[in-house]
Amino acid sequence: MLIPTDPQSFAPEQLGRDAESLQRAIAHSLIYDVGKDPVAARGRDWLMAVSRITRDRLVDRWMETTRRQYQHDAKRVYYLSMEFLIGRALTNSLLAVDIADEARAAVHQLGLDLEELSDLEPDAALGNGGLGRLAACFLDSMATLGLPGFGYGIRYDYGMFAQSLQDGYQVELPDAWLIGGNPWEFPRPEVLYTIRFGGRVDRQGAIPRWVETDDVLAMAYDTIIPGYRTRAVNTLRLWSAKATKDFDLALFNKGDYARAVQAKNQSETVSRVLYPDDSTRHGRELRLRQEYFFVSASLQDILRRYQQDHDGFAKLPDKVAIHLNDTHPAIAVPELMRLLLDVHGLGWDEAWALAGRIFSYTNHTLMPEALETWPIDLMGAVLPRHVEIILDINARFLERVRREHPDDPDLSRRASLIDESGERRIRMAYLSILASHKVNGVSALHSDLMRRTIFADFDRLFPGRFVNKTNGVTPRRWLNQANPGLARLIDSRIGPDWRVDLDRLAALEPHAEDEGFCHEFAAIKLANKQRLAGFIRRETGVIVDPQSMFDMHIKRIHEYKRQLLNVIEAVAQYSAIKAHPEVDWVPRVKVFAGKAAPSYWNAKLIIKLINDVAKVINNDPSVRELLKVVFIPNYNVSAAEIIMPAADLSEQISTAGLEASGTGNMKFAINGAVTIQDSKFQNNAICAIQSLAA
């Protein structure tokens, strides 16, 4: 069989880029891929057809990119993350292929509206907050820069949850984002790895054997990640749990239908939801299983890919870089050691030296309570071999610490991977630092505090290991896609290159005094506020005036992010307006959005308080035109693309030093919002509270 070297030699005639070719391709896909007669097709059917023909125009680039990486034996960055908050794919892909205008015209000729179809696409329920959005931006940037990158995560059936409000309280509902199919993924049923849990370690032979395990299969689903106006297309590989035994026919025939599928359901729970409620032991165990599930599958996949073209493991660090996005994938350290030691027969020193050149780690928090730890007894029950390896790593490390720092006898206790202060727990951040050749914070302040506070001992032990990599956001999605009016205005003054070099926006500074520019900017901002006002009315029923000042606090609901302080300020403003109606108040709409973790009761009470305060203020006719409070439910990437461009004020009031970077601030800033920083707001709010008390 002749295999062509150019994937485009397989490309059918309909892969044209003009509106007429796209129109024919959409109609063809609707009939032959979706299986719908155009007369009977609904919006969702047309969306699937448009998505498929857009994906088709990326596949040849994807195969070309992959082949080129193999031909050059390129080193790949493997980015391991529990979250990838990638948002909707259609509009991003159309922009990447540079056929957005042609597609809009083709869809219009079919009697449809591209924006209305795009709104039917569900957000991929693969993340929750900044950590997942950072991961998505990294994948986008690596593809745009042409860097060989590969993302690994979990294909959650239901994501975290869909948030609704009942009497002001957050209610969690399943986010069934896959129910209508996902045209952007490619199932890989041939890519299966066995993931093992429980059991015991048998030491009768020279190499420890992990036996009597409870197994589940990890099956790969690939999503293509296009670069912006480049031929490079990278891969996000997500793992879905599949049972080793689907169905017990004997039990079914006996009428025991529930037990017939019990094993299957239990096995596949691993990839059901993001961040299961960890307030119970069962929930904590499930989260640990999730972390190991995707890490083990990913490492097995990485080693398989490496071994296709290489003998031995000496070149492994020259071809493989594994990045740990926070500590969720930290179990990758003992898992790589297990694979190298127990499966491939390497010696300890060789395996550990390889690991130290392969891993790097991003820390996302300074809060000790948020640094992941696992009880040894829990991990021992789920991953007994890994506990042995971690204890061996720790023993060798502490021996070195005592030998090299005899003047500080307490250092070994402080730096130990095991917290012995109460229940013996494994410190996953310490494990990540010890195994990594580089550790980074996500802003200059965060990285500096990381070195000087919680990881000061490790900074002393490993000089130069800690570095800063300030978080960023992709301007392709958060300005070009979310705010096309502003993007066109910027293009008219400084050209289009800011999309791949955000520093070029500095060239706008001379236009700050340009009356024409400012007038156009104000008109674009008003249009964005009118769009958000319509969205707010549809989602909440609250009517807001686009001429008001839009004051936004959009983050995960958390005590340190201080939504509570902000809603108290809203109460103070309400009281001040009531007390002094003669003052020329600037009309203001305070907008909140974000989700609270299901088991975080205080955060859920803050949501309830915001909605109760909103009910009082929004229904008081004496302040109705001057102050409104809105909580937008089920915040996600698509909602953010409507919210960010409409903001006048951006609330960045998290407790100083605890907000690691706050990429939401960057998204607001590039859309022209003024940032309210924490110290000034705190002083104003404290004065307001004191005034209320008086």
Is 213 catalytic? The answer is no
Which amino acid, one-letter code, is at 665? N
Is 667 catalytic? The answer is yes
Count the neighbouring beta carbons within 10 Å of the beta carbon of residue 74: 11
Kindly name the residue from 386, 499, 604, 667 that is annotated as catalytic: 667
- Distance of alpha carbon 241 from alpha carbon 284, whole angstroms: 18
| Strand ranges for 243-350 from DSSP E | 320-325
| Strand ranges for 279-381 from DSSP E | 320-325, 359-362, 373-375
3-state SS, one letter per residue, for 565-596: HHHHHHHHHHHHHHHCCCCCCCCEEEEEECCC
Write down the residue that tokens 């979310």 correspond to.
482
Kindly name the residue from 555, 558, 588, 604 that is annotated as catalytic: 555
Is 254 catalytic? The answer is no
Helix (H) or strand (E) holding 230: none
Please say whether the beta carbons of 465 and 458 come within 8 A: yes
Q: Angle CA(403)–CA(405)–CA(411) in degrees, nearest 5?
A: 110
- Distance of alpha carbon 689 from alpha carbon 681, whole angstroms: 12
Please say whether the beta carbons of 288 and 382 come within 8 A: yes
Is 488 catalytic? The answer is no
β-strand 425-427 against 418-419: which pairing, if any? antiparallel
| Strand ranges for 283-423 from DSSP E | 320-325, 359-362, 373-375, 418-419
Write down the residue that tokens 């299969």 correspond to.
217
Write down the residue that tokens 């130069």 correspond to.
464
The CA–CA distances, whole Å, from 167 to 164, 200, 611 equal 10, 49, 8
| Closest C-alpha to 115, from 87, 88, 148, 142 | 88
- Pull the structure tokens for residue 86: 């990638």
List CB contacts of 392: < 8 A, sequence separation 6 or more.
348
Is 655 catalytic? The answer is no
Is 364 catalytic? The answer is yes
DSSP calls for 359-383 = EEEE-----GGGS-EEEHHHHHHH-
Write down the residue that tokens 């983050």 correspond to.
555
Please say whether the beta carbons of 362 and 417 come within 8 A: no
CA torsion through residues 227, 233, 239, 240, sign: positive
Kindly name the residue from 36, 57, 237, 364 that is annotated as catalytic: 364
Kindly name the residue from 223, 362, 373, 663 that is annotated as catalytic: 663
Radius of gyration of the chain measured on its C-alpha atoms? 27
- Distance of alpha carbon 294 from alpha carbon 328, whole angstroms: 10
- Coil, strand or helix at 346: coil
Please say whether the beta carbons of 385 and 207 come within 8 A: no
- Pull the structure tokens for residue 174: 């399943």
Kindly name the residue from 237, 272, 553, 561 that is annotated as catalytic: 561
Residues annotated as catalytic are 364, 555-556, 561, 663, 667
